[in-house]
Amino acid sequence: MTQVRPRMSPEEYEVYRKRVERKNNYRILVLSDVHGVYMHRPALDSLFNLIKENSFDEVIINGDFLDLPLLSRHARHIYASKDMHGYSERYEIELFNTHVLDRLYALDTVNRIRLRLGNHDERITKPYALGPYQMERLLILNKAYDSSELVGMLHQDSKLIYDPSPMHRMYDKFVLVHGASLAKNAPEVNLKRYFQSGTSGHSHRLGSKYINTPIGEVFWIESGCMRTKEDVEYFPAGNVPDWMVGFAVVDFVLDDGVKMYPQTYAYMNDGFFYNGVHYNA
């Protein structure tokens, strides 16, 4: 017996049409530095509204999805300077689970989600860098989840790819790293280090560098951050960071070889402007 597909709503058809139009493309959306308890909720809400109406083959969270401030060597300074009442590492992990992962899982416009580690997430995965105070907090967290593995503390879904590798390579032409350079010219620094196109976070800035070489154009893009910029816990009062809330999109066109088209998007005027539409919370 032949099954008849129910008629699609106009919204469902639009998503289907956009997928068919770019069947020879692989489109990734890259965001970085959500920083858990310090996440920029209006920006994330705007981004989820954008993703609902635009399909992506892969959403890549490129490190520092958690902050874990009290597992850092600055813990006592942060505790003294911020209202940390009610904070726990488990609270922060569940905040990321429910406000980011679960919402991405629910979107049928996302095929897969790749979760990569940054230096803040490694406060759990590399405990040998912790002091006695931080280790005590980590042991309490491990007991709460009955696991010492970060992946065991995350909500699971078939879409999720947990990727603890230091570098992820795509099509032998493009690399993703969380990043190590905080320099103003970090895109140029990374191009010289990796000798190919790629993207990084870590600096919390949106930036790009394009270079023409004898073998073609190469580029490096910084994908900004998804954390708050106001009243930063480790900045002196009144000091405003040069960060930019935003994300990046890279299209890989696979018709004849692999061609790459990168673009960054900044959170401005309380939203993101993408494909001619302003998406806000």
Q: 103: closest CA among 64, 47, 150, 149? A: 47
Would you say residue 99 lies in a domain? yes
The neighbour count for residue 65, using CB atoms within 10 Å, is: 26
Nearest Cα to Cα of residue 122 among 138, 146, 110: 138
pLDDT digits over 162-172, tens only?
A: 999 999 999 99
In a domain, 96, yes or no: yes
Q: Are 26 and 57 in contact (CB under 8 A)?
A: yes
pLDDT number for residue 75: 59
User: Would you say residue 249 lies in a domain?
Assistant: yes
Q: pLDDT-derived band of residue 20, with 50, 70 and 90 as boundaries?
A: low
Report how far residue 167's alpha carbon sits from residue 126's, in angstroms, rounded to the nearest whole number. 17
Tell me the two tokens of residue 267: 């959170």
- Report the CATH number that the domain containing residue 267 is assigned in CATH: 3.60.21.10
Q: How far apart are CA 115 and CA 136, in angstroms?
A: 26
For 56, phi then psi, to 5°, come to -135, 135
Condensed to tens digits (0 to 9), the pLDDT of residues 206-263 reads 999 999 988 789 999 999 999 999 888 778 777 889 999 999 999 999 988 899 999 9
Composition of the chain by helix, strand, coil, percent to 5: 30, 30, 40
Quick: pLDDT tens for 190-207.
Answer: 999 999 999 999 999 999
The Cα–Cα gap between 246 and 226 comes to: 7
Nearest 10 degrees: CA dihedral of 123, 129, 131, 135?
Answer: 50
In a domain, 186, yes or no: yes
Packed helices 89-96 and 132-145: angle between N→C axes, nearest 10 degrees: 50
Q: Quick one: pLDDT at residue 155?
A: 98
| Number of domains composing the chain | 1
Q: Which residues pair with 266 in a beta bridge?
A: 246
For residues 145 and 154, give the distance between their C-alpha atoms in angstroms, rounded to a whole number. 10
Region of residue 167 (phi > 0: left; psi between -120 and 50: alpha; otherwise: beta): beta
Model pLDDT for residues 77-112, shown as the tens digit of each residue: 565 556 677 899 999 999 999 999 999 999 999 999
8 domain residue, yes or no: no
The answer to whether position 1 is within a domain reads no
Asked if residue 169 belongs to a domain, the reply is yes
pLDDT digits (tens, 9 = 90+) for 48-61: 999 999 999 999 99
Report the pLDDT value the prediction gives residue 133, as an integer from 0 to 100. 86
Strand bridging mode 277-280 / 246-253: unpaired
Q: What is the DSSP letter of 113?
A: E
pLDDT tens digits, residue range 121-170? 999 999 988 888 899 999 999 999 999 999 999 999 999 999 999 999 99
Length in residues, the chain: 281
Domain around 183: 25-280
- Beta strand ranges found along the chain (DSSP E): 25-31, 56-62, 110-116, 160-163, 168-170, 174-176, 197-200, 206-213, 216-223, 246-253, 259-266, 271-274, 277-280
DSSP state, residue 215: T
Q: What is the pLDDT of residue 43?
A: 98
Pairwise CA distance, residues 116 & 161, whole Å:
9
pLDDT of residue 230: 87
Q: How far apart are CA 268 and CA 262, in angstroms?
A: 19
Q: Is 139 inside a domain boundary?
A: yes
